[in-house]
Structure 1
């Protein structure tokens, strides 16, 4: 059963296999966090030479994950940025174990990244501006829902996230003074749904 996509692009098997690379994930994260940058600057941040960094950036661009930031740079200098609209992972074919392995790698990295982001905010929040602390939240709910109710809730929450992503992607160059990079974690986890049914005889 295919998962529903809530992003502008769904990565195909080749894109997922290409993205499941530690350096490419790091470059993408740096562009996402810091905004447009050049291969030279990124090379310094990741400890690689510019040639290698440029190659990996072109691979990300080949699959539509990043793009050239038009209007930035001088001469042949290129600035890269994350492609607006976001992306989701496709469903790999059972006949393509390499793609299935790439998805596992990417999902494990996503879990790692979320843990790091939560820990980072826990460390930063005591010294963060008061208005940002007031606007933030740590949230968790445990609900008893049917499959249909769960899917409906998921869709409603994603509709709100998509509305604000459109605001973010359409932001004009003259950004508000209080503009910040805001991370939203949203997971729907039917815990225990994958376990075998208990044996009534036990």
Structure 2
């Protein structure tokens, strides 16, 4: 049963899931009764299991997936990252997670943070690059639809290859002439120029 008021808490539950923003986890933890017998878990990728140390039974189930109110998620395709404060709790949570997703696995807090960081890079960082591309096209009276095929193609390649092995573009070719044209084209956008140069340098280093 989902609640948003702690006075509604069932003190005899088997599992307590703290599903709040990362910066609200500790305040909720501090407000919960310390003597809960059920397993208390959070679902944050960037929050250490240690924040739940005041509870006898604790753990984490973290889905590395972007969640939106208006879009359903098929959790059977999402790996659930599990950690418990004891061997038995880890095993119990992993069994629970695998009922939702066969791709679930055990991860330490350190490994979970690595997964969270990687998820931010491929999700949040790529999305802001999509927005910057949208703005460039819009400023030149062009539709974002024009580059949707290449977005799909790049994402599909990343599913089946180590990304650098399918890298394309002027940076991997060391085509400095084209890169200078791009930089000149966005000369009125110094922040975007800096992003372009830094990403191009990262690509070139891996050639």
When normalised by structure 2's length, the TM-score is 0.25
Structure number with bigger Rg: 2
Identify, as 1 or 2, the structure richer in helix: 2
